[in-house]
């Protein structure tokens, strides 16, 4: 469903991705590992279309993403290093907006997602008063709410406690169960069934 | 997993509502350009001359330079915060038209900075000895001019997203494009004060605004996409 072919990416004078190719199908989780600076974040940003690779192509459902960006973006949820939340809005208001620009969404649905990620208790506080882990839980609820097939997660467990890391693994597991596709960059291994995982190690050949 | 999509118009409306809400949670940022404009406009009578007839001659220039500089000050914040907290990336990845959403942001920005500036301008103009019957002309020219300025500035704000201290760069990029706005705007204000027909320069200002309306949102979206890299 998602196909990455022959990606070549330079960041400044560093050749980060050297002819990287892989495929991901529904129900699979592509796990990107590698040391810091190996290009995990860059790869996720290339897939999302935020960064242009020098060579190579990303295709979605058989068509190059470059030519059907709008359709591809409607099908993906992206969560980067920083939770994309407005500090002066509450968690609930943030999700109402970020989900609302994608699809019509109601309060009950937002509350359900917040409850699922354990963020309901502090969803009515301005986000700037929350801890980094709490912000991440709100942001994860945002990913759930997009109801998209493809999740692009960059270090989704950052700042989360042990419970939270377990939660991320559960959420990914459930998403795979719904025939979703996940591309995640991780430091720590996630407890997922090995049959569903496509491991990609970046920067191994150095 | 097919879900109904938000229409482009609704997405733009949500962006505008969110920005309005954010602005009212943090009113200091809203007041800053207005206070700056008022300070500039009221310092001139103190420093130039107390003679009303001479002040009146200088009024169009003072009002417009003040308005231009204060809108440049405000433009710096147009996309910056959204870029920093990652919400602009989510705009770009929402599958909605980035052009439409940035246009909504730009219009909201004008509503929060340009329009209030035009509305308080009579206070500053009064201090410069502008007669009362010239005020509608002052307000109209500043409202139209600041709208054109916001549109032009949106492109500059998009282009300077990647720069760490983009403020000076933004001014340098935007000022050449802002000069026609300044010339026609000041002319309209001058004619309003002198009791002449202000329509011709207003039409020209309107033409610039329409040009900005058609081209600037597209250019701003392209610039923001580059800036997000």
Residue B27 region by backbone torsions, left for phi larger than 0, else alpha for psi between -120 and 50, else beta: alpha
Confidence at residue B2, expressed as pLDDT on a 0 to 100 scale:
58
> Rounded to 5 degrees, what angle do the CA atoms B141, B143, B148 make?
95
On the CB side of B104, CA atoms within 13 Å amount to 20
Contacts of A39 (CB under 8 A, 6+ apart): A9, A11, A16, A17, A202, A203
B96/A52 touch (CB, cutoff 8 Å), yes or no: no
> Rounded to 5 degrees, what angle do the CA atoms A111, A117, A121 make?
60
State the nearest Cα–Cα gap between A41 and chain B, in angstroms. 12
A51/B87 touch (CB, cutoff 8 Å), yes or no: no
β-strand partners of A198: A30
In degrees rounded to 5, what are phi and psi of residue B167?
A: -55, -50
3-class secondary-structure state, position B7: coil
Give the pair of three-digit tokens for residue B58.
């200088």
Could you tell me the mean pLDDT of each successive run of 10 residues in chain A, 206 residues long? 92 89 94 90 94 93 91 94 94 96 95 96 96 96 95 94 93 95 90 87 68
Strands A2-11 and A55-60: antiparallel
A90 DSSP 8-state letter: B
β-strand partners of A3: A23, A59
3-class secondary-structure state, position A6: strand
Give the pair of three-digit tokens for residue B119.
């509305």
The answer to whether the CB of A55 falls within 8 A of the CB of A15 is no
Residue B114 has pLDDT above 90, yes or no: yes
pLDDT digits (tens, 9 = 90+) for B139-187: 999 999 999 999 999 999 999 988 777 778 888 889 898 999 999 999 9
Give the pair of three-digit tokens for residue B74.
């405000």
**pTM for the whole structure:** 0.92
Task: List chain A residues with CB under 8 Å of B93.
Answer: 48-50, 73, 76, 78
Size of interface A-B (CB pairs under 8 A): 85
User: Which ipTM was obtained for this model?
Assistant: 0.90
The mean pLDDT of chain B is 92
Could you say which of B5, B18, B25 has the minimum Cβ distance to residue A103? B5
Q: Does B92 touch chain A (CB under 8 A)?
A: yes
3-class secondary-structure state, position B171: helix
B92/A50 touch (CB, cutoff 8 Å), yes or no: yes
Give the pair of three-digit tokens for residue B144.
């139209």
Q: Does B8 touch chain A (CB under 8 A)?
A: no
Q: Give the integer Cα–Cα distance in Å for B125 and B134.
A: 9
3-class secondary-structure state, position A31: strand
Could you say which of A80, A100, A147 has the minimum Cβ distance to residue B3? A147
Confidence at residue B45, expressed as pLDDT on a 0 to 100 scale:
86
Could you say which of B25, B93, B228 has the minimum Cβ distance to residue A88? B25
State the nearest Cα–Cα gap between B214 and chain A, in angstroms. 21
A180 DSSP 8-state letter: -
Could you say which of B14, B26, B89 has the minimum Cβ distance to residue A101? B14
Confidence at residue A206, expressed as pLDDT on a 0 to 100 scale:
42
Q: How many residues are given for chain A? A: 206
Q: Find how far residue A61's CA is from the centre of its chain.
A: 18
The answer to whether the CB of A30 falls within 8 A of the CB of A24 is yes
**First-residue to last-residue Cα distance in chain A:** 29
The answer to whether the CB of A51 falls within 8 A of the CB of A62 is no
């Amino acid at each position: 469903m998602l196909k990455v072919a022959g990606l070549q990416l330079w960041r400044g004078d560093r050749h980060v991705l050297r002819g990287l190719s892989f495929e991901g199908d529904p129900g699979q989780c592509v796990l990107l590992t590698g040391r810091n600076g190996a290009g995990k974040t860059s790869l996720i940003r290339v897939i999302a279309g935020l960064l242009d690779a020098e060579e190579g192509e990303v295709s979605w459902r058989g068509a190059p993403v470059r030519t059907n960006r709008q359709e591809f973006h409607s099908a993906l949820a992206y969560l980067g290093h920083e939770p994309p939340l407005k500090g002066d809005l509450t968690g609930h208001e943030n999700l109402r907006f970020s989900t609302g620009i994608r699809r019509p969404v109601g309060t009950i649905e937002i509350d359900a997602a917040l409850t699922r990620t354990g963020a309901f208790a502090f969803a009515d506080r301005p986000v700037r008063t929350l801890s980094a882990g709490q912000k991440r839980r709100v942001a994860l609820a945002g990913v759930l709410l997009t109801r998209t097939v493809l999740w692009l997660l960059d270090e989704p467990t950052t700042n989360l406690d042990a419970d939270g890391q377990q939660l991320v693994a559960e959420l990914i597991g459930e998403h795979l169960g719904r025939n979703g596709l996940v591309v995640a960059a991780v430091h720590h291994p996630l407890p997922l069934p090995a049959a569903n995982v496509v491991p990609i190690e970046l920067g191994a050949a150095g | 997993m097919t879900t109904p999509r938000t229409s482009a118009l609704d997405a733009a409306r949500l962006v505008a509502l969110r920005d309005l809400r954010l602005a009212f949670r943090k009113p200091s940022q809203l007041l800053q350009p207005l206070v700056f404009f008022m300070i500039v406009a009221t310092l001139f009578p103190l420093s130039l001359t107390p003679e009303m007839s001479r002040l009146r001659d200088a009024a169009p220039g003072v009002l417009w330079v003040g308005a231009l500089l204060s809108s440049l000050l405000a433009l710096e914040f147009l996309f910056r915060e959204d870029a920093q907290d990652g919400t602009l990336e989510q705009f770009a990845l929402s599958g909605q038209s980035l052009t439409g959403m940035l246009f909504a942001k730009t219009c909201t920005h004008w509503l929060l900075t340009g329009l209030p500036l035009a509305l308080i301008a009579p206070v500053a103009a009064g201090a410069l000895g502008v007669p009362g019957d010239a005020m509608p002309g002052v307000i109209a020219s500043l409202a139209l001019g600041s709208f054109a300025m916001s549109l032009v500035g949106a492109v500059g704000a998009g282009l300077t997203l990647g720069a760490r201290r983009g403020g000076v760069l933004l001014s340098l990029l935007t000022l050449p494009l802002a000069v026609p706005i300044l010339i026609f705007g000041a002319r309209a204000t001058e004619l309003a004060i002198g009791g002449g027909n202000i329509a011709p320069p207003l039409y020209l200002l309107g033409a610039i605004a329409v040009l900005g309306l058609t081209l600037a949102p597209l250019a701003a979206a392209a610039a923001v996409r580059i800036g997000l890299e």
